[in-house]
Amino acid sequence: MTLWLLIWFLYYQKKRKEEFSELLKEEIGKTALEREKFEMIINSISEGLYVLDKDGRFVYFNQAAEQLLGLTAEKVLGRMDCEIINCRDDQDNKLCYPGNCPLSLSWKESKTKFYPVLYFNRADGAVFPVSLMVSPVMGRSGPAIGVFLFRDITRELEIDRAKSSFISVASHQMRTPLNALRWILEMIINGELGKVNPKQKDFISDAYESTIGLTKLINDLLGVSRVDAGKFKLKKEPVDIKKLFDQVVFELSYLTRARNVTVENQINDCPPVVADSEWIKQVITNLTDNAIKYNRPKGNVLISNQIKGAQVVFTIADTGIGIPVDQQNKIFEKFYRAENAIALQTGGTGLGLYIVKPIIEAAGGKIWFKSALNQGTTFYFTLPLAKI
Amino acid sequence: MKKILVIEDDRFLSRIYSTKLAREGYEVILATEGNEAMGKLKNCRPDLILLDLVLPGRSGFEILAEIKGVKELVEIPVIILSNLGQQEDLDRGKKLGAADYLVKVNFGINEVVTKIKQYLV
């Protein structure tokens, strides 16, 4: 009896072992298939993908990474990040594990980090621009791996540079003849090129104002094209905002005289704010230009500032025609002009305020206004104080 | 009589500068590009230089760098008068030693003269 039991037990164990073996083979087969699928997917993407372990060593390197960097996975796996990739930012600072490496920063913040422009080098030493996304993967006891996804953005930067160059050249080519025309007309009006009778002066003044309008249109169109094209990288640096206001008031003095409006600039003792001086000057110009243009004869424009916490609030108040209540919600739309503004025939473009809002918001500020028909308009915008 | 060297290739603008500045009591010397400008600077020392940036041959930036590299010319104030108005142009001009940078389209001719006078006191 015991013998039969023993034989049955051994037979059962053998069967179990065979079944288990089959199951194991099946699972290994499935895993291999899944891995093959995974490899096919990862190697089908055009972006370079590599993985670093918690010591900064390569543990995975896809085919696109091999092609983009001119390296094989074989040469890279097990080696340190900085031995292979000379990653630099746009200030030419080297980003190396662990120090200021994107992976260290993403582990520290436990979130994916995106770098729009960095520079990598190929195996042959050639440097090329990339955009990089780094995703940290945390294990039970802390950082486990980091997944790097990058792509070559050489072409995109070339297109950006071409757009910027076109904007610069177009603006110069349009402005130059306009300048000559404007200055000649100015000299004629002032009697510097001989006497003009009142009727001639009147018509020439109209021509002069047309050149001013055309100049503003060109400035606004170029501003809009830069905003729309995303050429809108605001610098964030301390700016002497009083100097910008003084410059704008000076540059608009021809308009102040023409409209018979008084501009009172009460910007005083304003500490530096964080802004991009070129773009913020455009904001100040557009708001002040509107305040003068849509004013009544012998009207006033008051420019002032107030510090509120970590922000400075700037105010540009006019005694002009105001904005009808039912049209106020459209005032920042592209090409929109309120009906009473159109009726005034100032030659406005409807672009000035369209540009102003995204600039202020990108600078970390806010813009708003109060207005009532025939009772003037007050625009407010904020900018952050520069930390000293 | 104070002398102003105007480096400008646009003939209309050259004529305006010439007429206007003469009326204001200045002696105006004209040049349309870099070699001509440097040639004229060998023979006379102006009290101020008005410099356009987009010029045939060498750019205004290159000419400015050359002027600031000459010991006898380095103290002459150079005002850039250009329609290139992007911040990187302003920064570059200042870095090269321009006394001022005026974006032409933003100024009336009288305002330009007011600015010039500030540097000729």
User: How close does chain A come to B71, measured CA to CA in Å?
Assistant: 32
Q: Look at residue A72 in the predicted model and tell me its pLDDT.
A: 93
What secondary structure, in 3-state letters, does A267-329 show?
A: CCCCCCEEECHHHHHHHHHHHHHHHHHCCCCCCEEEEEEEEECCEEEEEEEECCCCCCHHHHH
Q: φ and ψ at A346, to 5 degrees?
A: -90, -5
pLDDT digits (tens, 9 = 90+) for A25-75: 888 888 888 888 888 888 889 999 999 998 889 999 999 999 999 999 999
Position with higher pLDDT, A110 vs A197: A197
Measured CB to CB, residues of chain A less than 8 Å from chain B are 168, 171-172, 175-180, 182-184, 186-187, 190, 192-193, 215, 218-219, 235, 250-251, 253-254, 276-278
Measure in Å the smallest separation between the Cα of B44 and chain A Cα atoms: 28
How many alpha carbons fall within 13 Å on the CB side of residue A29?
6
- Better-predicted residue by pLDDT, A265 or A338: A265
Query: Is residue B86's pLDDT more than 80?
Result: no
Pair B63, B34: CB distance under 8 Å: yes
Averaged pLDDT for residues A314-326: 94
Q: Which of B10, B24, B116, B100 lies closest to A181, judged by CA? A: B10
Q: Other CB atoms closer than 10 Å to residue A140's CB: what's the count?
A: 5
Between A201-210, A247-256, A344-353, the lowest mean confidence (pLDDT) is in A344-353
B108·A177 Cβ contact <8 A? no
How sure is the predictor about A300, in pLDDT bands with cuts at 50, 70 and 90? very high
pLDDT of A233 > 70? The answer is no
Kindly tell me the burial class for residue A318, based on how many C-beta atoms sit within 10 Å of its own C-beta (0-12, 13-18, 19 or more): buried
Residue B101 with chain A: CB contacts under 8 Å: none
**A–B: how many Cβ contacts below 8 A?**
64
Percent of chain A, pLDDT > 70? 96
Q: Do A186 and B108 touch (CB under 8 A)?
A: yes
| C-alpha distances in Å from residue A249, one per residue of A137, A179, A253, B34 | 55, 19, 6, 34
Considering only CB atoms, B111 lies closest to which of A175, A235, A250, namely A250
Q: Is the pLDDT reported for residue B80 higher than 80?
A: yes
Contact assignment for B108 to A182 by CB distance below 8 Å: yes
| Residue owning tokens 């100049």 | A215
- Pick from A243, A288, A250, A289: nearest CA to A267: A243
**Where is A115: in which H helix or E strand?**
strand A113-121
Q: State pLDDT tens for residues B10-30.
A: 999 999 999 999 999 999 999
- HSE on the CB side for B39, CA within 13 Å? 7
For residues A239 and A273, the answer to whether their CB atoms sit within 8 Å is: yes
> What is the per-residue pLDDT for A345?
67
Q: What is the DSSP letter of A57?
A: B
Percent of chain B whose predicted confidence (pLDDT) is above 90: 79
Q: Which residue has the tokens 């000559």?
A: A180
Name the residue among A172, A186, A192 with its Cβ closest to that of B83: A172
Looking at residue A341, its pLDDT comes to 82
Question: What is the chain B residue with the closest CA to A278?
Answer: B87
Q: Which of B23, B89, B104 sits opposite A179 (nearest CB)?
A: B104
Across the interface, whether the CB atoms of B90 and A171 are under 8 A apart is answered: no
Q: Which of A210-222 are b and which e, b meaning 16 or more Cβ less than 10 Å from the residue's Cβ?
A: ebbebbbebbbbb
Do A253 and B109 make contact, defined as CB atoms within 8 angstroms? no
Omega prior to A98 cis, within 30 of 0: yes
CB-nearest partner of A179 from B54, B86, B105: B105
Q: Is A359 helix (H, G, I), strand (E, B) or coil?
A: helix
Task: Name the nearest CA neighbour of A265 among A293, A238, A294, A292.
Answer: A292
Residue A364 and residue A233 in contact, taking contact as beta carbons nearer than 8 Å: no
- Give the range among A161-165, A235-239, A374-378, B97-101 with minimum mean pLDDT: A161-165
Nearest CB neighbour to B16, from listed A172, A178, A183: A183
**Residue A52: its pLDDT value, please?**
92
Listed range (A35-39, A96-100, A128-132, A380-384) with the worst mean pLDDT: A96-100
CB-CB neighbours of A4 under 10 Å: 8
Q: What is the mean pLDDT of residues A85-100?
A: 81
In angstroms, the separation between the Cα of residue B9 and the nearest Cα of chain A is 11
With contacts defined as CB-CB under 8 Å, which chain A residues touch B93? none
Q: Which among B85, B109, B111 is the nearest to A171, CB-wise?
A: B85
Q: For residue A42, what are its two tokens? A: 């990862």
pLDDT of A313 higher than 90? yes
How many CA atoms within 13 Å lie on the side-chain side of B115? Answer: 23
Interfacial B residues in 89-118 facing A (CB < 8 Å): 89-90, 104-111
As a whole number, the mean pLDDT across chain A is: 87
